[in-house]
Amino acid sequence: MDLSLLFAALLLVSFRSASAAARPHVVFILADDFGWNDVGYHGSEIRTPNLDRLSAAGVRLENYYVQPLCTPSRSQLMTGRYQIHMGMQHQIIWPCQPHCVPLDEKLLPQLMKEAGYATHMVGKWHLGMYKEACLPTRRGFDTYFGYLLGSEDYFSHVRCSRIDARNLTRCALDLRDGEEVAAGYGGVYSTEAFGRRATDIIEKHNPDEPLFLYVALQAVHEPLQVPDRYLAPYSFIEDLHRRRYAGMASAMDEAVGNITLALRRRGLWDDTVLVFSTDNGGQTLGGGSNWPLRGRKWSLWEGGIRGVGFVAGPLLKRPGTVCRELVHVSDWLPTLVGLAGGGTNGTKPLDGFDVWRAISEGFASPRLELLHNIDPLYVDVAQCPGTGRRVALTEGFGSGFNVSVHAAIRSSNWKLLTGYPGCPVWFPRPGHNGSGPGSDPLPGPGSDPLKPVMLYDVEKDPEERNELSAAFPAVVEYLLRRLQKHQSAASPVDFPADDPRCDPGPAGAWGPWA
């Protein structure tokens, strides 16, 4: 062969592999309400062999944060922005609220699409659906199969919700294929329906085109429902909630195994970056556990926000490592768009950082600070053992920040909380001390009254047992000023009243009404 031809051929080969590496397939699997102590590799009694194996060969994120609730984590994943910048700092989007992630926010799938990706979504949306423009198919996804709300029945796919001030409850189907109601899945367990759709997409995908697949599984959110075959290995768990939850987690683990197997079979795996993440901490009232962390879902304690997460795939430069760098759910948008070789043109100012080199190569995270949230309307809706422990709001501070407001911020090793952070209990490890999740907490420092401003060194003290505000007043002052700065840039809370027109009627399905 002529030398120049050989050179050209080599160039072509290196260009091809460079471009493949520049545009890997991205598969993002989001679990719902999966707690810190619910994954095998954190020492759980729940068996998650696929998650354990994948993460062991990938990079486990052990200083990884999500938001304490569903809609907020998902909105930050999709926008790369803090929810205080969208007016979404309060709670979730309830079924009848005429609300969705603001339509002037550009979402992750739109950016991936601009970078040349095929974009598919399977599972839970929960980012608003009152009008068609809010639907996933109008916001960047080529295809969608899933449900728009949350908390439905895993088999019937029916969601019951109060629809008006007369407290009329409507139970209606919430499952769509594209924008059409999907009526043919009654009796099919959602973890299997979504797992199968994800593997179908992979099997039909043209390997020459980069794939962005977002799988937002229903597992392991309440209601606690699971086919019997997943329960059999857990007869040793006495607490029925925990046993069912464990079975649900096993089904989820199996779905993740099926998805990765499909990627290998289709020949996509070598060019895939797979992210697994929970959306928030476990709900102890629904079988979840965040032991030994404090609190749970709905709270700004570590149990609500320190998430299970890892990245897998052969493109990681340091596979088999643990990343202890600060990473947040808002970081995925710039990170994944960066991997896609795309741009963030058209987004509003991002709060997320590109953390790829921190994860893949062990570099320091570019993220130095993390605003967990500021919610001036916070109420804890679920029953919390020992809820008499409200905050005594007596102290005044010089920062201008209203310390009665529910807020938390992280900076390096420090975490500051103000107001009532949510259920402050250290729930015992399931099956230990003769008590299951949801039972009364162990006696301990948790019975002390909460202070309006609390400071923890969460690097040394992830269980938030040693409150240090009195010892480090300068740190407190600095973080309160940071909170005040964030609050002064926040959008007003947008939490509209229910619109009774949401009612899909006795034979209808939940969906756009406006």
Catalytic residues: 70, 126
Q: Which of 221, 274, 215, 284 is nearest to 249 (CA)?
A: 221
When the beta carbons of 56 and 261 are compared against ligand NAG, the nearer one is 261
Residue of 137, 156, 225, 258 interacting with ligand NAG (CB under 6 A): 258
**Contact flag: residue 187 with ligand NAG (CB under 6 A):** no
Q: Which of 308, 467, 485 is nearest to 401 (CA)?
A: 485
Residue of 254, 461, 463, 499 interacting with ligand NAG (CB under 6 A): 254
Residue of 255, 312, 355, 454 interacting with ligand NAG (CB under 6 A): 255
Q: Could you give the C-alpha distances from 67 to 103, 278, 434, in angstroms and in order? A: 21, 10, 31
Contact of 194 with 218, CB cutoff 8 Å = yes
Q: Which stretch binds ligand NAG (CB under 6 A): 189-197, 262-270, 421-429, 473-481?
A: 189-197
**Contact flag: residue 166 with ligand NAG (CB under 6 A):** yes
Q: Helical H runs in 130-271?
A: 190-204, 240-265
Q: Which string of DSSP letters, residue by residue, matches 245-291?
A: HHHHHHHHHHHHHHHHHHHHHTT-GGGEEEEEEESS---GGGT---T
Tell me how far apart the alpha carbons of residues 17 and 13 are, in angstroms, rounded to a whole number: 6
**Contact flag: residue 195 with ligand NAG (CB under 6 A):** yes
Tokens in use for 136?
A: 């996933």
Per DSSP, what are the bridge partners of residue 461? none
When the beta carbons of 164 and 239 are compared against ligand NAG, the nearer one is 164
CB of 230 to ligand NAG, least distance (A): 9
Q: Which stretch binds ligand NAG (CB under 6 A): 253-261, 281-289, 348-356, 398-406?
A: 253-261
Tell me how far apart the alpha carbons of residues 37 and 204 are, in angstroms, rounded to a whole number: 36
Range 309-348, binding ligand NAG (CB under 6 A): 343, 345-346
**Contact flag: residue 457 with ligand NAG (CB under 6 A):** no
In the complex, residue closest to ligand NAG by CB: 195
Q: Which of 292, 202, 327 is nearest to 256 (CA)?
A: 202
CB of 416 to ligand NAG, least distance (A): 34
Tell me how far apart the alpha carbons of residues 468 and 413 are, in angstroms, rounded to a whole number: 12
When the beta carbons of 342 and 436 are compared against ligand NAG, the nearer one is 342
When the beta carbons of 223 and 512 are compared against ligand NAG, the nearer one is 223
When the beta carbons of 343 and 473 are compared against ligand NAG, the nearer one is 343
**Contact flag: residue 394 with ligand NAG (CB under 6 A):** no
